[in-house]
Amino acid sequence: MKKHLKVSNTSQRNLYVVMTLLLCLFFMSFMLFFASQNFAIDTANPTEGSQKTIHKNQNPLDLEKIIKENTTKDIQEERVVEEIDLEYTTRYENNSELPSGVVQVLQEGRMGKKNAVVIKKYQNQELVAEQQVAENIVKAPVERIVEVGTGRKYYQEEVKEGDMVFVVANSVAVRLEPNEKAEKICTLHKDASAKVLKIEEDWYFISTVEIKGYVPSNCVTTKNPKKLEKDETQYTKQQLLANLSFEMDLRKPSGLTLEQFRQILTGDGNDKKKVFEENADYFYYLEQQYQINGIFVAAVGIHESGWGTSAIAHQKKNLFGYGAVDRNPYGGAYSFGAYEEGIDLVARVFVKYYLNPPNTAIYDGSMASGKFYSGSNLRAVNARYASDKNWANAVYQWMQYLYNKL
């Protein structure tokens, strides 16, 4: 018991010592804090000992500045509902009954619409981030289905009014007007014959014993389809290079044949994954459908994807970074089921929004939006399409590279 009592008294004394030290430290800290303040008492005049002068702080706080700096750091959020157009994709189907290079539309695509709930963040009234948190598909897009020929080519010569023509496609729709969206009258099957009454650009107004209507010019030939073509007319390298310039009109097709597109995009050491080699045909097909330079579209894909090696290209089948934004490139980029879907869609986007003025007639009888139109050359597209000011120069270098591979 005494042993325990002795220990208890000792502990009590130690506690008193500790508390005393803490009080001393607190008092010293208070005195040091007070002395550090930028105030001084003037005691220079002993006759006026009772009069003390307080000097103004030499480094006063700028409250207005502090408030302004902290206020501008505030990030404001805004929740909005946006109506967004949904571009349709195109599915390509091979048809060995069609001559190689022939493109035939089986089903027209249709745009869709969705309402998206987006949270936008602003700092100093400038948009710094946005995130889509919900969406509602109002109208689903309908895919476009295109049939492309993979069979042997047929002999073709200039068609004149009054000529007899033969259907080379497996079947072709006869329409009321020279437009893929026009009402369908009937279907003509392979080898059926008809007389050309009138020629309207890429359409022939034909007549048979029973009907009259319009058919696409590339689905018929003036000769018996069984007569094969031996040689294909194509432009020489010199003729094609004569049209190449930084200011060239990108709405004009390059003029390359299907075989020439395959030539310039096959066996290139840069194409390590063979993405462009395996999709060379689609740059030719888009020229036949959309009135755009296919080499330009290929060059954009090469520049944006590093010849198909970027994560967006490899994982999302997106050679163009379509949909990507500087704040979140990968997250914003579209995913495609196949490379040709992105190639076809981006070509249509260029034609619809960038290369043509508003209300210009374009593919499928539709009209151009012209929302981002500044002109139809590389410099004009760069102004609204890419934030990189050197984008046009980089794309043109790849165009030169491809043209010179002919």
Range 359-370 average pLDDT = 90
pLDDT tens-digit series, residues 66-82: 555 555 557 788 888 88
Residue by residue, DSSP assigns 239-263 as HHHTT--TT--TTS-----HHHHHH
Strand partners, 137: 114
Under 8 Å CB-to-CB from 135, ≥6 apart: which residues? Answer: 114, 115, 116, 117
Model confidence band, residue 8 (pLDDT cutoffs 50, 70, 90): very low
According to the model, what pLDDT value does residue 6 have? Answer: 40
Q: Is residue 7 in a domain?
A: no
Q: Is residue 345 in a domain?
A: yes
Q: Which two tokens stand for residue 16?
A: 């008193």
Q: In what order do the strands lie in the sheet with 144-151?
A: 90-99, 144-151, 103-107
Residue by residue, DSSP assigns 329-371 as HHHHS---SSHHHHHHHHHHHIIIIISS-TT-B-GGG-B---T
Asked whether residue 260 falls in the same domain as residue 376, the answer is yes
pLDDT above 80: residue 317: yes
Asked whether residue 131 falls in the same domain as residue 255, the answer is no
> Distance between CA atoms of 217 and 165, rounded to whole angstroms?
10
Specify the DSSP element, H or E, that contains 315: helix 311-316
Asked whether residue 263 falls in the same domain as residue 318, the answer is yes
Asked whether residue 243 falls in the same domain as residue 388, the answer is yes
Q: CATH number of the domain that 253 lies in? A: 1.10.530.10
Q: Is residue 229 in a domain?
A: no
By residue count, the chain amounts to 406
Q: How many C-beta atoms surround the C-beta of residue 147 within 10 A?
A: 21
Q: Is residue 49 in a domain?
A: no
Asked whether residue 179 falls in the same domain as residue 204, the answer is yes
Asked whether residue 110 falls in the same domain as residue 191, the answer is no
Range 31-39 average pLDDT = 54
Asked whether residue 298 falls in the same domain as residue 374, the answer is yes
Q: Is residue 6 in a domain?
A: no
- Which of 146, 173, 194 marks a domain boundary? 146
Q: Is residue 3 in a domain?
A: no
CA–CA–CA angle 208, 213, 219 (5° rounding): 85
Q: Is residue 119 in a domain?
A: yes
Q: CATH number of the domain that 162 lies in? A: 2.30.30.40
Of 141, 136, 152, 63, give the one whose Cα is nearest residue 102: 152
What mean pLDDT is reported for the chain? 83
Q: Is residue 156 in a domain?
A: yes
Asked whether residue 85 falls in the same domain as residue 140, the answer is yes
Stated pTM of the model: 0.63
Asked whether residue 313 falls in the same domain as residue 393, the answer is yes
Asked whether residue 198 falls in the same domain as residue 109, the answer is no
Contact 363/348 with Cβ under 8 angstroms?
yes
- Which of 130, 146, 162 marks a domain boundary? 146
pLDDT tens-digit series, residues 83-101: 888 889 999 999 887 778 8
Domain that holds residue 184: 149-221
What is the tally of structural domains in the chain? 3
Asked whether residue 213 falls in the same domain as residue 277, the answer is no
Contact 265/398 with Cβ under 8 angstroms?
no
Alpha carbons within 13 angstroms on the beta-carbon side of residue 136 total 6
- Which of 188, 221, 254 marks a domain boundary? 221
Asked whether residue 303 falls in the same domain as residue 395, the answer is yes
> Distance between CA atoms of 135 and 84, rounded to whole angstroms?
10
Strands 103-107 and 144-151: antiparallel
pLDDT above 50: residue 14: yes
Residue type (1 letter), 298: A
Q: CATH number of the domain that 95 lies in? A: 2.20.230.10
Greatest mean pLDDT among 23-32, 40-49, 203-212, 217-226 lies in 203-212
pLDDT tens-digit series, residues 247-296: 999 999 999 999 999 999 999 999 999 999 999 999 999 999 999 999 99
